[in-house]
Structure 1
Amino acid sequence: MSAKNMDNHNRWRNKTVAFRVSPEEDEQLEIFVKLSGLTKQDYITRRLLCKDVVVQGNPRVFKALKNQFAAVLEQLRRIEAGAGVDDELMDTIEMMTTIMDGMKEEFAYDD
């Protein structure tokens, strides 16, 4: 087996866990995974085991944030035109705010 099948504690990851999600849940999960900078497997595993998901700033995360800010802006314009706010948008905004707050704290320590 390859090294990618080992976890951080040098244990083999040889069990498969599968479950179904709706297209909307899949889209939300994909957004959160991209914003976290983790692999989908690591993101889901950490969330299921109630471990912290610590976002490490890197070019991929910054690009995902940029793309999500553009998508949120588009949704806010839609809302301004009279449409309603959906729960998925609020969850995405909350996740982005948490990431930005963490980045602000990280940069505050550098001073």
Structure 2
Amino acid sequence: MFRSKSSRETMRQMAKRTEKERLDKLKKKEKNRKRPNTIAFRMSDEERRLFEDRVTMSGLLKQDFIIQSLLFSNVQFLGSTIAIKKIEERLVEIEMMIRSVLKKKELDSVLVEELSTIIELMQNKSL
């Protein structure tokens, strides 16, 4: 079945408008998104099964379960020369930040969090 030129134009305009509306919705959704970063990792079949069981038992969403597990659980850090070197480098950066903060008399919450993590590691003597 052949369509007239005007009906093809109308269909093209509708398709363009629909596509534009879809893109506008995506842009708006991205603007309102609170967690724009993605982190991915791989698991064995057994690890995935255990993970799924724990998520189910927790009653949390997978995303919330992973975030809480990563941020609020005790993790044993294995001290290696590479890890120690990175911590030393970060401590030098933090020292410079603290010196500038002392001049401005205000402390950044991210810096405080990093410092407390390093202190916790040192107290646990896991390095």
TM-score scaled by length of structure 2 = 0.45
Answer yes or no: is the 8 Å Cα contact 1:79–1:85 preserved in 2. Answer: yes
Which consecutive residues of structure 2, in runs of 5 or more, have no partner in the other structure? 1-41, 53-61
Question: Larger radius of gyration, structure 1 or 2?
Answer: 2
* Divergent runs of 4+, >4 A: none
Query: CA offset at residue 11 of structure 1?
Result: 3.3
Report the TM-score, using the length of structure 1 for normalisation.
0.50
- 2:95 match: 73
- Alignment partner, residue 82 of structure 1: 104
Query: How much has 1:68 moved relative to structure 2?
Result: 1.3
Aligned length: 74
Q: Specify which structure has the higher proportion of helix.
A: 2
Per the TM alignment, residue 5 of structure 1 is displaced from its structure 2 partner at its CA by: 3.3
Q: Is this contact kept in 2: 1:5–1:12, CA < 8 A?
A: yes
Partner residue of 2:43? 5
Unaligned runs of 5+ residues in structure 1 are: 19-42
Aligned pairs (5 A) from 1:27-46: 46=69
What is the letter of the counterpart of residue 87 of structure 1?
A: S
Q: CA RMSD in A?
A: 3.2
Query: What's the offset of the Cα at 1:46?
Result: 3.7
Which residue, out of 78, 86, 95, partners 1:64? 86
